[in-house]
């Protein structure tokens, strides 16, 4: 998987971030939206986003919602609800804003296959199943997600995708 040292993820595209230092670079904790707020805003997006000089929206709660659903329901919900919401956000801001999903603990739950760059989400027990995020959210365009690095040689802080189609 390609690595990204640039800060473009803070201003554009969609990211899944699990590193607290990375999240703190784009927002204060009080600026984080709940997943419910995010889904209610679809089609009625604010003119000014709450973080990073109105360039970024950070959303928490995706991980908890996925944990409550069985794998089949989670896949359907991601494809039928979350992906259209991401597309709506992208369309509203014309690619000139960043959507960041805050996933504390995501470093142990998001798995990228080195050989294929396929990205999956490891469900909590009792399911213990993997959800194919790449297939559901970015249609297997596996060459596009990039690992976010905060410094050369550092651990991945999240994943970045410039535009989901």
Averaged confidence pLDDT in the chain: 92
Whether residue 120 is predicted with pLDDT greater than 70 in this model: the reply is: yes
Given this model, what pLDDT does residue 39 score?
98
- List pLDDT tens digits, range 11-70: 999 999 999 999 999 999 999 999 999 999 999 999 999 999 999 999 999 999 998 888
Query: Nearest Cα to 132, choosing from 74, 64, 70?
Result: 74
Residue 37 to residue 32: CA distance in whole angstroms: 10
Q: What confidence score (pLDDT) does residue 143 get?
A: 56
For the chain, how many structural domains are there in total?
1
Domain holding 50, by residue range, is 3-161
Q: Pick the closest to residue 158 from 11, 9, 8, 27 (CA basis).
A: 9
């Amino acid at each position: 998987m390609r690595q990204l040292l640039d800060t473009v993820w803070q201003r554009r595209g969609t990211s899944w971030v699990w590193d607290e230092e990375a999240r703190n670079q784009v927002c204060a904790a009080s600026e984080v939206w709940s997943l419910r707020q995010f889904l209610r805003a679809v089609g009625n997006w604010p003119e000014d986003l709450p973080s990073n000089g109105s360039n970024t929206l950070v959303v928490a709660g995706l991980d908890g919602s996925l944990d409550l659903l069985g794998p089949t329901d989670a896949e359907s919900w991601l494809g039928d609800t979350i992906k259209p919401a991401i597309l709506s956000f992208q369309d509203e801001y014309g690619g000139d804003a960043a959507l960041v999903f805050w996933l504390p603990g995501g470093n142990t739950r998001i798995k990228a296959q080195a050989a294929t760059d396929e990205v999956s989400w490891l469900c909590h027990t009792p399911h213990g199943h993997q959800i194919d995020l790449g297939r559901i959210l970015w249609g297997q365009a596996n060459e596009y997600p990039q690992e976010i690095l905060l410094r050369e040689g550092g651990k991945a802080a999240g994943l970045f995708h410039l535009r989901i189609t």
